[in-house]
Amino acid sequence: MSVLRTPDNRFDNLPDFPYEPQYVDLDGIRMAYVEAGPADGEPVLLLHGEPSWSFLYRKVIPVLADAGLRAIAPDLIGFGRSDKPATRAEHSYARHVEWVRGFAFDKLGLTGVTLVGQDWGGLIGLRLVAEHPDRFARVVAANTGLPTGDQPMPDIWWQFRKVVETAPELEVSRLVQMGCLSELTAEALAAYDAPFPDQSYLAGVRAMPTLVPTTPDDPATGANRAAWTELSRWDRPFLVAFSDQDPITAAMAPVLRSLVPGAAGIDHPVIEAAGHFLQEDAGERLGTVVAEFVRSTVATASQPGQHPTE
């Protein structure tokens, strides 16, 4: 695998993101992450999506840390400070699931995890929850889903995919800004562009939309259908915390609330005045929602029901 590594100096002077990066080696490819909060706090795994990186969680992390939680935010392979396979062909849905699995379980040895997954962070994270339910205490799904290709994707998503696939020059900061209601500062925009010194580093960004299952015969459809079967039995706490203005994933919120048993009887918040990247538009609010969810479900999560795969 041909791999590119973004120079460290690209990440100098990041606004409101003082966390020292840490790294794990996944069979020769380096994955970066940051963490904050007490080392013995309940772990909260913050998974970002396309085309962002852990910087997206800079408003969420301090809220969780102040609540006594161990906030862990990795950069997906191909994004942020993590290594970047140089060709689109090196990226697959299964490979991204395996990279995050290896990071969270083999390298960090996490158990009792609260997943917070947004965008691809949910596509990957919900697969991990279904395939390794014993590792997770609870789930927060935020502007995400688990597509199988059986239902059509919204037109706005197809427009996004076409741009990302075909544009001769991609500006990641512009893509992030398009998914926000608030206007990002010049410093924040620069931080989103930092991982990509030139267009050769963007194979992961360009590949990810093509990996979303859009037909029933997609390579990932079988695994995602199997994951839905497991999620339909998931009785640990499951919070659906979507924003009020995300046209890409809005239709998934009622599906998750109705099909996952662990979502029953929970007051699912709507994060107001926020777009697709709700961490940017309402990060502190999302952090508070997650912290309160963990605090209110400690007893329930510590005595979970058994699942067939355990």
Residue-wise pLDDT tens digits, 185-200: 999 999 999 999 999 9
Would 195 be classed as within a structural domain? yes
Would 147 be classed as within a structural domain? yes
pLDDT the model gives residue 299? 65
For the question of residue 246 being annotated catalytic, the response is: yes
Would 305 be classed as within a structural domain? no
Instruction: Exactly one of 75, 83, 119, 218 is catalytic; name it.
Output: 119
Q: Which domain holds residue 41?
A: 3-300
pLDDT the model gives residue 302? 57
pLDDT band at 39 (very low <50, low <70, confident <90, very high): very high
pLDDT surpasses 50 at 167: yes
pLDDT surpasses 80 at 86: yes
pLDDT band at 1 (very low <50, low <70, confident <90, very high): confident
Helix (DSSP H) and strand (DSSP E) numbers for the chain: 11, 11
pLDDT the model gives residue 201? 98
The gap between the terminal CA atoms of the chain, to the nearest Å, is 34
Cα separation, 304 vs 223, in Å, equals 24
CB 43 within 8 A of CB 118: no
pLDDT surpasses 90 at 105: yes
DSSP 217: T
Would 161 be classed as within a structural domain? yes
For the question of residue 25 being annotated catalytic, the response is: no
CB 60 within 8 A of CB 69: no
**271-282 as b/e: b if 16+ CB within 10 A:** beebbbbbbbbb
pLDDT band at 308 (very low <50, low <70, confident <90, very high): very low
Question: DSSP alpha helices (H): ranges in the chain?
Answer: 61-66, 93-101, 120-131, 155-166, 172-178, 186-193, 203-211, 221-231, 252-259, 278-296, 298-302
Cα separation, 45 vs 25, in Å, equals 18
Per-residue model confidence as pLDDT tens digits over 200-227: 999 999 999 999 999 999 999 999 999 9
pLDDT surpasses 50 at 127: yes
Q: Residues 6 or more apart from 32 whose CB is under 8 A from it?
A: 21, 22, 23, 54, 74, 75, 80, 81, 82
CB 235 within 8 A of CB 262: yes
CB 58 within 8 A of CB 31: no
Please compute, for residue 285, the number of CA atoms within 13 A of its CA located in the half-sphere on the CB side. 16
Cα separation, 54 vs 291, in Å, equals 18
Would 293 be classed as within a structural domain? yes
pLDDT surpasses 80 at 304: no
Determine how many CB atoms are found less than 10 A away from the CB of residue 255: 14
For the question of residue 66 being annotated catalytic, the response is: no
CB 231 within 8 A of CB 244: no
Would 306 be classed as within a structural domain? no
pLDDT the model gives residue 298? 82
How far, in Å, are 2, 6, 108, 134, 275 from residue 111 at the CA level? 33, 31, 9, 8, 31
pLDDT band at 172 (very low <50, low <70, confident <90, very high): very high
Cα separation, 244 vs 273, in Å, equals 6
Would 307 be classed as within a structural domain? no
Mean pLDDT of the 235-257 span? 97
Instruction: State the total domains in the chain.
Output: 1
Q: What is the mean pLDDT of the chain?
A: 95
Per-residue model confidence as pLDDT tens digits over 41-84: 999 999 999 999 999 999 999 999 999 999 999 999 999 999 99
What is the radius of gyration, based on Cα positions, of the chain? 18
Instruction: Exactly one of 48, 91, 96, 276 is catalytic; name it.
Output: 276
CATH number of the structural domain spanning residue 233: 3.40.50.1820
Would 230 be classed as within a structural domain? yes
Instruction: Exactly one of 246, 267, 268, 307 is catalytic; name it.
Output: 246
